[in-house]
């Protein structure tokens, strides 16, 4: 890879509103004896350096985790890209060249996420899997993002770009393929949470 990967900072994207769960923070939902966020942190910590949480509203609700909470730097909640931008701005302040993002509602993501994203030796890489028919499924909340593109992303968001791949395609974003589609299972509904319980 092009830098010491286990040193790369990471941001957990927890900005989504859990509308299908009845509101609140998906990240703080209970899974076994912990929260979804605890499970995400357990997988993430060995893979990265500094960690922050991207979430809007009162940061005190994440106090127990002892991590910086970064609100979106662009208002009106324009989706995950605003969280990516908040992460890039934070990473720039740390002097880092890139940031890794993971989703707060995906507790089983690969333990070699960082490694595989870095293997392509590209500045901008998103995770993807293939289904049985060979179709590529993109997981745009899991990626490696170069700090050098943060001002471009800021302009794109201000111009109304909302879809992650709409922006990453402009910058020759590549996809790192992961063999296990189930690893990217994410919790959206109470049924999903029950499934996650069974998977832990």
pLDDT tens per residue across span 19-65: 555 667 889 988 888 999 999 999 999 999 999 999 988 999 999 99
Task: Provide the whole-model pTM.
Answer: 0.93
C-beta separation of 62 from 55 below 8 A:
yes
Q: What is the dihedral of CA 20, 16, 110, 140, to 10 degrees?
A: 110
For 136, other C-beta atoms within 10 Å of its C-beta total 10
- Alpha carbon distance 181, 17 (integer Å): 24
Question: Band of the pLDDT at 2, cuts 50, 70, 90?
Answer: very low
Nearest to 39 by CA among 50, 31, 51: 31
pLDDT at residue number 62: 95
C-beta separation of 171 from 125 below 8 A:
no
């Amino acid at each position: 890879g092009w830098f010491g990967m286990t040193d790369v900072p990471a941001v957990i994207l927890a900005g989504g509103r859990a509308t299908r769960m009845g509101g609140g923070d998906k990240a703080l939902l209970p899974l076994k004896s912990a929260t979804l966020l605890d499970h995400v942190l357990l997988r993430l910590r060995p893979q990265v350096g500094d960690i922050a949480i991207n979430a809007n509203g009162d940061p005190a609700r994440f106090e127990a985790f002892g991590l910086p909470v970064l609100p979106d730097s662009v208002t009106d909640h324009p989706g995950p890209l605003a969280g990516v931008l908040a992460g890039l701005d934070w990473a720039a302040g740390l002097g880092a060249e890139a940031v890794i993002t993971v989703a707060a509602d995906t507790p089983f993501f690969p333990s070699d996420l960082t490694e595989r994203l870095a293997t392509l030796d590209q500045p901008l890489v998103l995770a993807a899997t293939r289904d049985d028919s060979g179709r590529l499924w993109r997981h745009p909340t899991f990626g490696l993002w170069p700090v050098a593109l943060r001002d471009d992303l800021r302009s794109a968001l201000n111009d109304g770009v909302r879809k992650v791949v709409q922006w990453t395609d402009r910058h020759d974003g590549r996809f790192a393929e992961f063999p296990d589609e189930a690893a990217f299972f994410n919790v959206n509904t109470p049924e999903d949470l029950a499934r996650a319980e069974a998977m832990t």
